């Protein structure tokens, strides 16, 4: 077994407990992360840059803070996706265009919140080009057998997913515009939270589509996601009471994409486990309405990407073909087409939220299957597009594997006004998946 095969996620909750009890110091946690990066990243290539000196200095600076003044993430190292600004570090966006860009002058709002909660920025993680489809060099840490071709980690939060999956950091920032966080979480076998759109400010983030861009987190478990979300968003932690079995709507995704047999088996296993524990489970139905969301999402994303990055239209020869095509198609869309798409999304959102008045969440595959072999493509984000188009939060749960041993993620999608409830469901169901 190689060092990569032996690597596993590190619990954020356990790291915080080690700090709280004095078993470890912030400097210990930073040192452990740096050691894992040194051992694993030459093969996995999850990081664009690591600022060890700044991280060590930050850890030293946190040591003397009195216990009562420590933030919720005190002393915990984190990775930051390289479309998010970190003061003093270049934001490369996975593009050679920014190779000579100066360092960012200020932290993005979410990074400032991380530091305010006592977290430590370890460095910048690899992203696809401008958060779209052209992959970076990162390799999925899972292998079905030794000696096979590398598998994609997904996109575009690929570096963050791999950094967490291989235990280099206990959590990392990702973003999602289509399936950029949910898919890597599923492919790499970690938990992922896509926050409701605008729940966490995106200032200092180089996005694609302001109506669709969302910030989120990757971590070992749903409980770890709750810690990160509560600390970064400033949302008060909910009181932990008795959790009733949830009411779930099932969507298997086959109305919009081919879904692998292993993924469908995993979904059925999750549903069976939920029912065994008392959950009410019914079919979502409305297949045609969900299908219609995919082209609407694509229209809005293309139009807004062309508006946001209009300067790139004159430099299309310097970007990948998929990004150039996206910008060109968005530039050709009429304003009226965009407004019709937005109106269609508003109507669909109202319909889905009406359905969710009587249910707690939608349960669905997080991706059409396990991570495809090869690094030329990042996999298909189609099973996330409908829900991202509606601005709904999603939590990916880890624990399942396909017949070849590769991770399979199951997602739950919920009401944007109650992401804590979605995390409740994920924490409730996740142990059942881990048993299998």
- Residues annotated catalytic, as ranges: 81, 156, 180
Structure tokens of 302?
Answer: 């293309």
Structure tokens of 62?
Answer: 């946190």
Do the beta carbons of residue 201 and residue 218 sit within 8 Å? no
3-state percent breakdown (helix, strand, coil) of the chain, nearest 5: 45, 15, 40
CA pair distance 434, 436, nearest whole angstrom: 5
- Sheet with 214-219: list strands edge to edge: 47-50, 120-125, 77-81, 171-176, 214-219, 191-194, 394-401, 407-413, 361-365, 247-250, 280-283
CA pair distance 400, 408, nearest whole angstrom: 5
Structure tokens of 323?
Answer: 């990004």
Q: DSSP letters of 89-152?
A: S---TT-GGGTTPPPBSS--HHHHHHHHTT-EEEEEE---GGGSSS--S---S--SSTTPPPB-
CA pair distance 82, 84, nearest whole angstrom: 5
- CA 46, 51, 56 angle in degrees (round to 5)? 120
100 CB burial (10 A radius; 0-12, 13-18, 19+): exposed
**Residue whose structure tokens are 């605008």:** 198
């Amino acid at each position: 077994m190689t060092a990569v095969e032996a690597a596993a996620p590190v619990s954020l909750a356990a790291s915080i407990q080690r700090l709280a009890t004095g078993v470890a110091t912030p400097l210990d946690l930073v040192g452990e992360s740096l050691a894992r990066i040194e051992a694993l990243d030459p093969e996995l290539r999850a990081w664009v840059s690591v600022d060890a000196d700044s991280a060590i200095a930050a850890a030293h600076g946190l040591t003397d803070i009195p216990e009562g003044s420590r933030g919720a993430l005190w002393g915990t190292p984190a990775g930051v996706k390289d479309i998010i600004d970190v003061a003093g570090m270049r934001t490369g966006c996975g593009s050679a265009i920014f190779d000579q860009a100066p360092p960012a002058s200020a932290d993005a709002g979410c990074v400032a919140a991380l530091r305010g909660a006592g977290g430590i920025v370890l460095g910048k993680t690899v992203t696809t080009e401008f958060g779209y489809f052209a992959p970076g060099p990162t390799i999925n840490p899972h292998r079905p057998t030794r000696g096979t071709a590398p598998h994609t980690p997904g996109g575009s939060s690929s570096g963050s997913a791999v950094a967490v999956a291989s235990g280099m950091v206990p959590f990392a920032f990702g973003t999602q515009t289509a399936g950029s966080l949910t898919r890597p979480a599923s492919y790499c076998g970690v938990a992922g939270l896509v926050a409701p759109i605008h729940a966490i400010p995106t200032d200092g983030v180089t996005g694609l589509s302001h109506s669709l861009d969302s910030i989120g987190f990757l971590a070992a478990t749903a409980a770890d996601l709750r810690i990160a979300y509560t600390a970064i968003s400033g949302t008060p932690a909910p009181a932990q009471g008795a959790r009733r079995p949830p009411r779930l709507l099932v969507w298997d995704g086959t109305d919009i994409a081919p879904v692998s047999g292993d993924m469908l088996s995993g979904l059925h296993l999750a549903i069976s486990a939920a029912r065994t524990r008392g959950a009410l489970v019914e079919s979502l139905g409305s297949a045609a309405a969900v299908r219609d969301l995919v082209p609407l999402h694509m229209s809005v994303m293309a139009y807004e990407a062309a508006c946001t990055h209009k300067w790139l239209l004159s430099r299309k020869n310097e970007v990948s073909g998929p990004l150039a095509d996206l910008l060109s198609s968005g530039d050709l869309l009429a304003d009226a087409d965009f407004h019709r798409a937005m109106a269609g999304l508003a109507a669909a959102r109202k319909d889905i939220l009406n359905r969710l008045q009587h249910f707690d969440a939608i349960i669905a595959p997080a991706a059409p299957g396990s991570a495809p072999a090869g690094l030329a493509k990042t996999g298909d984000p189609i099973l996330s597009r409908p829900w991202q188009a509606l601005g709904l939060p999603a939590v990916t749960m880890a624990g399942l594997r396909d017949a070849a041993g590769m991770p399979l993620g199951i997602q739950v999608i919920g009401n944007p006004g109650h992401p804590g409830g979605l995390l409740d469901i994920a924490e409730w169901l996740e142990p059942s998946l881990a048993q299998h």
